[in-house]
Structure 1
Amino acid sequence: MAAATIKDDLAGQVPPRRLTKTELLKTHKTHIKKQDLAPDAPRPVKQPIMSDAYPASTKLIRDVEIIPLSELRVETHHRGKGIVVKVISPPYIGAGSVSIVEDEFGNADKLAIYNQGDSSILSGVPEGCFVAVKEPYYMHNGGENDYMICVDHPSDVILLRFTDPIIPEALRLGPLLKSAEEWRSAGDKAFLERDYPTAVFCYTEALEACNDEAQNETTIKLQRAIYTKRSGTNLLLGRYDAAKADALASRTGASSDWKAYYNAGRASYGLCEYTTSREYLEMALKLNPAAAAVRKEHERCLARLREEETGEYDFPAMHAALNPQTAVHLDNGSFLRNTTIRESKHHGRGLFATRNLQAGDLVFCEKATLMPNQYEPSRASAALYAMMVRQLCDNPSLAGSVLKLYPGPYEEQLTGAEGTIVDGVPVVDVFMVEGIRNKNCFSLPLATVDNTKPSSPDDRMAKGLWVHASHMNHCCVPNTMRAFLGDMLISRATRDIKAGEEIFQQYVPIKALADLRNTGFKQGWGFECNCFLCARERTLSSTGMLERRKEALAAVEKACNKRPINMKTGDGVGIVPDAAIRTVDRLAKQLEDLHESEVYDVLPRLTLIYPCNWLVEAHRGRKNHAKAVKYGLKVLRNFGFLSVPDSESVEWEPRDIYTKSGEASLMTVHVVAGLRKLAEGYAALGRKEMAERCVEAARFGYMIVTGFENDLEILDQ
């Protein structure tokens, strides 16, 4: 019988037969043997399928009814129920951790735990441990009589203490170790073996054992020493919230507390809370002024605070420090004070300027909230999703910013309890996380400046989340442009922006035709763009004219593509016959005439950019410099730079395109390339001053495109 049929037929029912404990353990052992043959195989990530979405449990384990495994029903989310089981096998590690478990009645089943980070012992629960699963989902696993308990939400499963009273008497063996000293020693051993999750577990048991013992000076001293050990271990795991709490709990009131403040400062630094970090580090220095490590950390923290305050960065040094294998996460702070988040008339919340900004100004520079070092496109989305889930579990303070982002249609399924602490862990709904990732992440190269090189591959893209930048709304002709250096997002103004004005970005490179680009926006983000360009095209340009433009665009592109150009390099046309040039020129003129003057006199004419660029290259190839300049000017005007003259003989100021072109100009690297070609044409015509002005404007534009000043010659590499 097909798996889909079994699911449908048995949905909501207790299975007629489950595999016995002996059968389950036998099959499980064969999987473990295969795992042992490939211990270093990369671990896949199970990304959620949104059509299968279900909410995370928000109940306390003690508020649900504990049921035996024998009552689990197929394809059912057992709301209001829970299970308490003992792990009776080693874990099989794949996309998740699969173990065989047993309840107090001797029933056995398969438990698959997904979306646990490497910092959690639940990513591979050791044999002999006890776990509780809240509101378990029981599913058919594809084979005959093959079922399993599937835990997608990391907060739906709890690792229980061995002495937890919720463990049934029939399962209870008592603690494996009895004293706090024994648990601390076990933690020390795990730490030396670099099994940090187990070390944290043992130190936690040690602290609980301290609470169970008589409180005296010796016990308190031991307890504070264990807090120190657990704090340092949590720092290594990147669990900064817990590391900070443990560090502060380890304080004794003595001068030796400098270590506690040092660890608290390092944890705060890991959370990018530099002001708090400075305060703790200064407390550490007050207690131990000679501590070189503290002083070094303090100086590093002050450098981040200067960046946050001034927006002054050594971008060339940051670029030089990048290494695709080891250094994509730069040690820099976020400069955000030029912008603020508030309600937008366009879509929900948006970013707004807090002061007047000029074209080219740094609008903000933000360090990624979350960004994995994975530049393989087929793996980048899964890597970001896995990192988001792990960090939200490891550092609950992130929930305050990350979980406020728009998760798409899944928003209707949320309870409002996501991110709150229940049973000692934050509620993390993986479907909400995936919705947020899908609607708010950015694709990025290692460095935008390197990605402008003709020789750079276009497909090496990572994905990351920048919470502040995620609040920016889309505009097809935005007033800012973003660039990347490792995990730093640099936003610069493409034209002057007034204080209080909303700041926009372009979500993706836009299509020339309004209906096509808005179809993409609806499918990807669920909105129809109402920017200056789209609104005027939609309301003032007739449907009939739009269809005629489509036909004319198809005809001119067909003619151009007989001798295509590479839009990244500008090369590929070669020496073009006069007849071919005349054909494209005629078709481009027909397309131009299909743009109503009353609509497009103040708008870019995006459909004309490719044919005009083609004509620039065609005339360059024939060394017809006057015509190359003529069509180069048209390229800029078609990008919406209305200060550009119609005639190639007119003197003009190229830098004015950034300040005198209105709200519908579109800045791209192709504008920089266009200015360089104009400079070449003017120089060939003996107009040296105009050539120099164009180069200066291109250099300024390249700074906007790449985020910082760079040599234009990079575009030729």
Structure 2
Amino acid sequence: MLLQETAHRPAATETLVGKVPPRRLTREELLRTHKSHLKKQTVAPDAPRPVKQPVLEQRYPASTKSIRELEIIPLSELRVETHHRGQGIIVRVITPPYLGAGVVSLVEDQFGNVDKLAVYNHSDSSILSGVPEGFVLAVKEPYYKHNGNENDYMVSVDHPSDVILLRFTDPIIPEPLRLGPLLKSAEEWRTAGDKAFIDRDFPPAIFCYTEALDASDDESFKAGVLAKRAGTNLVLGRYDAAKADALASRTGAPSDWKAYYTAGRASYGLCDYRTSREYLEKALELNPGAAAPKKEYARCLARLREEETGDYDFRAMFAGLSPKTVHVDCGSFLSNTRVHESPLHGRGLYAARDIKAGEIVFVEKATFMPNQYEPARASAALYAAMVHQLYDNPSLGATVLQLYDGGIGRTGGEGATVDGVPVVDVFVLEGIRTKNCFSAPLSTLEDTKPSVPSGRMAKGLWAHASYMNHSCVPNSMRSFLGDMLVSRATRDIAAGEEIFQQYVPVKALLHERLAVYRESWGFECRCPLCDGEKRSAPEKLARRRELLRAVEKSRLKRHPGKGLVPDAAIRTVDRLMRQLEDMHEPDVFRCLPRLALVHSCNYLLEAHLGRKNYAKAARYGRKLLRNFGFPVPEGEDDDREWDPRTLFDRTEMVPLMTIHVVATLRYLVDSYKALGRTEMADRCLEAARFGYKIVTGFEDNVNKLDE
């Protein structure tokens, strides 16, 4: 489920913007309505929580100030549709939470004013994802909004770092909101934390352990509690905190191996395998016989080998995938590439060495990729994962916050730690998501099969791959195995050469391509194909558009329910294709793909195969490869010296590699076999297998195309 705020305010609200509302709902009215909502609330334990995804047009920055720098105001002074810059509120939660896209509770300030507070974008690892009754919160620079109903308002918190859970002993809490003398000793807080942990209430366990630490001066006692909190943070995936707590729990005793073991696991969770190895080695020095560190150390060494060599067992990775198992336990191999400034758009990815066609350019584990393959949920799930992870593990901000956000306009304070939490700006992260995410099938190998339903795509962010600039005729191609992105070279790449990828499937017509890039990413494509086509005369471009529409219309004339295509349809498409060929100037397209010809040429190839006219099928197969930009002879009998195995060698041609190229080679295999030219068929099959490895990332069994 995806919820968004409307960009339009009710007319009645416009007159109140910036003003204190003349009337708010009373305490009794608010309590009655809240209780009625709680009675209707049904939360399935395993159901995904709805997500309120931000509207970028309504963006506002996260607060970068400490609550102690702000003027604390009462709820009664909040103004409608206003971000109260320089001000804050301190309130106590007086009701159980209502859980929806956010957490809605009723809160009370020190003067007895009551209002609604909606907190969004906190993960299940945070106690603020379901604030317990009686806790005291500080909201920094709050936004007060009208809910649409008469006299109905609430404080709405989009940025998770804008709301702070205050410790019971915090001197900033006004006296009327205090609970009175704390009855729990440090030992009692620790016991409460242990009970919460056993009950799998991990966020409350963290809170209790923190209170225990604050209430004790006994260093030995604190070391034990820190170790417990480290383990709880590890369970919650809060790896930064787990590592810090584990290292802080060391006492200098041999039992410190447990602290190093936890720190090693936390570093592994952050994919920092070198640091993980260091901590695990220290654990094994202190306890050489410990089985758990040995097992973790072996895993860590395997990841480091992958990072250093790029040697992966792709078949084992593929075999381990399932709809419920998409996160592959592998490291990222990035050493073939470097990030540098690009003359095209900002930064780009460059080859650190010569890379041959078909070789791995890089393999990257996703920075974020939720296991959500429903298209309606995938974007919201990725957004939520990014917000939650950067709040739980602020060290990730060093990588993620460098990425392009579409020009949101930042304060510079994003990622900084204020009031003990990282500043997380949800609008900046949504901008980064929209400009850098990829759609990914569970595996590209399965996705190439005709029998697999299309459209089931997850959304993920691969930070290293995000630096690659777009080209309509790229020199690399990406594929996916779960949350692993595999990039292979589609042709030879020289050291120092910029590496390009295709952001989206390329459209045949220039004006359509350019419109997509401008609208989605805000750039003008300057790849060889687009720059070349811009040299075409305007009348040629217009005529190509007209003819392509005619081809697409005529291609619908297949005889329904029969394999054979009528002669009239073949003649029509052939005539239109020849006219289209005439609209491609030789000086412009000498080395470039002719994408406007692809559909008609593929139609004629399949039509002649269906009629078992294999000589013509072979001819149109070669023409189709040429239309994708490969150096191929197109005539009737001039293929005797042609070797399809050289298709991917570096030439002056600038080809476009797609799965359709592999399919064309397979068609040529069948055609040449039928013509008795087995040597040529074998060469085409070898080329098809090589191309299929580029497309799928690892698999060379091209026969899977038929499954």
Shorter-chain TM-score tier: over 0.9
Conservation of the 8 A alpha-carbon contact between 2:336 and 2:351: yes
Confirm or deny: 8 A CA contact 2:559 2:565 kept in the other structure: no
Seen in structure 2, the aligned counterparts of structure 1 residues 644 and 368 have a Cα distance that, compared at 3 Å, is farther
**Does the aligned pair in 1 maintain the 2:633–2:639 contact within 8 Å?**
no
For the residues of structure 2 that align with 1:205 and 1:37, how far apart are their CA atoms? 29
How much has 1:644 moved relative to structure 2?
4.4
Structure 1 unaligned runs (5+)? 566-571
1:184 alignment partner, SS class: helix
Counterpart CA distance in 2 for 1:223 and 1:692 is: 71
How far residue 37 of structure 1 moved from its aligned partner, in angstroms, is: 7.6
- CA offset digits 1:549-586 (Å, max 9, x no partner): 11111112211122299xxxxxx982122222111111
Q: Equivalents in 2 of 1:520, 1:346: separation in Å? A: 17
3-state DSSP of counterpart to 1:409: coil
> How high is the TM-score relative to the length of structure 1?
0.96
Q: Which amino acid aligns with 2:499?
A: I
The answer to which of 50-59 and 478-487 deviates more is 50-59
Aligned counterpart, 1:183: 189
**Alignment partner of 1:611 out of 579, 597, 600:** 600
Q: In structure 2, what is the equivalent of residue 355 of structure 1?
A: 353
1:545 alignment partner, one of 540, 550, 558: 540
**Structure 2: how far apart are the matches of 1:355 and 1:643?**
29
Task: Quote the offset at 1:529 in angstroms.
Answer: 0.3
Distance 1:279 1:396, change over 3 A: same
Partner of 2:320: 321
Change (3 A) 1:648 1:102: farther
Give the corresponding residue for 1:534: 530
- State the alpha-carbon separation in 1 of the partners of residues 568 and 22 from structure 2: 78
Deviation at 1:645, TM superposition (A): 4.9
Aligned equivalents of 2:47 and 2:588: distance in 1?
59
Letter of the structure 2 residue corresponding to residue 379 of structure 1: R
Offset of residue 23 of structure 1? 1.3
Correspondence 1:441-520 to 2 at 5 A = 441-520=437-516
Q: After the TM superposition, which residues 674-685 of structure 1 pair with which residues of structure 2 at under 5 Å, given as runs? A: 674-685=664-675
Which residue is 2:705 aligned to? 715
**1:21 Cα shift?**
1.2
User: One-letter code of the match for 1:108?
Assistant: V
Match of 2:390, as an amino acid? L
SS of the aligned residue for 1:443 comes to strand
Aligned to 2:62: 56
Provide the identity percentage.
68
Counterpart in the other structure of 1:231:
230
Question: Structure 1 residues 640 and 278 mapped into 2: Cα distance closer, same or farther (>3 Å)?
Answer: same
Structure 2: 5+ residue runs without aligned partners?
A: 1-7
* 1:690 aligned partner: 680
Write out per-residue CA displacement over residues 296-325 of structure 1, whole angstroms, 9 at most, x where no aligned residue: 000000000000000000000000000112
TM-score of the superposition, structure 2-length normalised?
0.97
1:177 is displaced (CA, Å) by: 4.0
Q: CA deviation at 1:40?
A: 6.1
Match of 1:630 among 608, 611, 619: 619
User: Does the 8 Å CA contact 2:70/2:86 hold for their aligned counterparts?
Assistant: yes
1:418-458 C-alpha deviation (Å, 9 max, x unpaired): 01101111100001111100000000100000000001111
SS in 2 for 1:484: strand
Give RMSD over aligned pairs.
Answer: 1.4
Aligned partners of 1:79, 1:661: CA distance in 2, in Å? 60
Amino acid at match of 1:415: T
1:115 maps to amino acid: N
CA contact (8 A) 2:619 2:634 kept: no
Contact 1:18–1:147 under 8 Å retained in 2: yes
Structure 2 CA distance for aligned equivalents of residues 471 and 573 of structure 1: 48
Pairwise mapping of residues 328-477 of structure 1 onto structure 2 (< 5 A)? 328-410=326-408, 412=409, 414-477=410-473
Determine if contact 1:389/1:430 at 8 Å carries over to the other structure: yes
Match of 2:566 among 555, 577, 587: 577
**Counterpart contact for 1:629–1:648, Cα < 8 Å:** no
Tell me: CA distance 1:678–1:564, structure 2 relative to 1, closer, same or farther (3 Å): farther
User: Alpha carbons of 1:173 and 1:577: their partners in 2 closer, same or farther (altered >3 Å)?
Assistant: closer
**Which residue number corresponds to residue 302 of structure 2?**
303
Residues 602-654 of structure 1: CA distance to partner in whole angstroms, max 9, x if unpaired? Answer: 11000101100000111111111000000000000000002445444422111
Contact 1:584 1:611 in 2 (8 A): yes
SS of the residue 2:164 aligns to: strand
For this pair of structures, how many residues does the alignment match?
699
Q: Deviations over 1:244-263 (max 9, x none)?
A: 00000000001000000000
- For 1:294 and 1:644, the matched residues in 2 are separated by 61
Question: Is the CA contact 2:63–2:140 (under 8 Å) kept in the aligned structure 1?
Answer: yes
Measure, in 1, the Cα distance between the counterparts of 2:413 and 2:562.
59
Q: Which amino acid aligns with 1:460?
A: R
Instruction: Name the CA distance, whole Å, in 1 between partners of 2:147 and 2:507.
Output: 44
Q: For 2:99 and 2:587, how far apart are their aligned partners in 1?
A: 65
Aligned residue in 1 for 2:552:
557
In the alignment, does 2:242 pair up with 1:243? yes
Structure 1 residues 154 and 503: CA distance shift in structure 2, 3 A: same
Structure 1 pair 177/190, CA: closer, same or farther in 2 (3 Å)? Answer: farther
Does the 8 A contact of 1:307 with 1:335 survive in 2? yes
2 CA distance for matches of 1:590 and 1:420? 61
Residue 13 of structure 1: how far off its partner (Å) = 0.5
How far apart are residue 519 of structure 1 and its match? 0.2
Check 1:323–1:377 CA distance in 2 against 1; reply closer, same or farther (3 A cut).
same
**Letter of the 2:494 counterpart:** K
